[in-house]
């Protein structure tokens, strides 16, 4: 797999209480090691198709408000400008959408890794489904700059980890979140690891995976939580 040289909402205290800080994360800990999709996000300016370099052909549709081909510190990235993330009207043009059932975690070990940078303190970066979605969902969001990784199964089983450090410092960070049958693990910059034990159930829905915010939102009853910043690449892996 080639990679570029560059990868709250309110959560109950009980969900977060089990998160344990460890250090010196080891790749050997990973259970989800089969590549499902690899989006290098290095298309030329004006591109409207997000290519998949995994060989599986899981491409995405890039919204017209997403800037592509942006050169950032020697990398080529996608960039989202700053907007009020919850102000009407909805702006679906800010989303990248990927509609493929292979992206459903199901009951498999499943990992999402993202390399991004931002100076903002809000926004959903990637998700498949939303809180009311039949079949469960997962998402990465960054309220107040602290990244949250959440997996919620179809029957309501849920685990979420929030980083203990804010990552909206303008530097690139690589965050991997892996769900197994018994725990959720977040690894930041290959150094810091948080773990939370417990199952998340079966996650399988018909909603497209979105990058940059929510798809099913009206900014009145359901906010869209648009992301502002730069994303370098994203990979999805499973067992």
> Tell me: the pLDDT tens digits for 7-62?
333 333 333 333 333 333 344 568 999 999 999 999 999 999 999 999 999 999 99
The CA distance from 197 to 165, in Å, is 20
What is the pLDDT, as a whole number, of residue 147? 98
Mean pLDDT of the region 159-179: 97
The domain ranges of the chain are: 13-238
Q: How many helices (H) and strands (E) does the chain have?
A: 1, 17
Q: Using alpha carbons only, give the angle 119, 123, 124 rounded to the nearest 5 degrees.
A: 130
Whether the CB-CB separation of 135 and 204 falls below 8 Å is answered with: yes
Other residues' Cβ atoms within 10 Å of the Cβ of residue 22: 13
Does the pLDDT value for residue 135 go beyond 80? yes
Q: Using alpha carbons only, give the angle 112, 140, 121 rounded to the nearest 5 degrees.
A: 140
What is the pLDDT, as a whole number, of residue 29? 66
The CA distance from 212 to 224, in Å, is 9
Which tens digits make up the pLDDT trace of 186-199?
999 999 999 999 99
What is the pLDDT, as a whole number, of residue 73? 82
pTM above 0.85, yes or no: yes
Mean pLDDT of the region 146-159: 96
Does the pLDDT value for residue 148 go beyond 60? yes
Percent of the chain with pLDDT over 70: 88
The CA distance from 158 to 14, in Å, is 11
Class of domain 13-238: mainly beta
Handedness of CA 100, 229, 46, 44 (dihedral sign): negative
DSSP 16: H
């Amino acid at each position: 797999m080639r990679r570029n040289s560059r990868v709250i909402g309110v959560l109950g205290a009980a969900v977060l209480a089990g998160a344990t800080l460890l250090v010196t994360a080891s790749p050997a800990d990973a259970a989800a090691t089969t590549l499902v999709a690899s989006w290098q996000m290095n298309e030329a300016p004006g591109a409207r198709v997000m290519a998949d370099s995994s060989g599986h052909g899981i491409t995405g549709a890039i919204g017209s408000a997403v800037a592509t081909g942006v050169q950032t510190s020697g990398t080529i990235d996608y960039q989202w400008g700053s907007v009020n993330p919850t102000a009407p009207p909805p702006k679906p043009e800010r989303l990248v959408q990927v509609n493929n059932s292979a992206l459903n975690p199901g009951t498999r070990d499943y990992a999402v890794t993202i390399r991004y940078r931002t100076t903002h303190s809000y926004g959903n970066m990637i998700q498949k489904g939303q809180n009311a979605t039949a079949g469960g969902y997962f998402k990465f969001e960054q309220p107040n700059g602290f990244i949250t990784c959440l997996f919620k199964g179809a029957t309501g089983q849920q685990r979420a980890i929030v980083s203990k450090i804010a990552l909206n410092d303008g530097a690139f960070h690589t965050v991997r979140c892996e769900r197994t049958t018994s725990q959720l693990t977040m690894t930041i910059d290959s150094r810091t690891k948080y773990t939370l034990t417990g199952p998340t159930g079966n996650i399988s829905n018909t909603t497209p995976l979105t990058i940059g915010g929510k798809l099913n939102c009206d900014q009145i009853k359901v906010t869209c939580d648009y992301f502002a910043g730069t994303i370098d690449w994203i990979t999805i892996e499973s067992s």
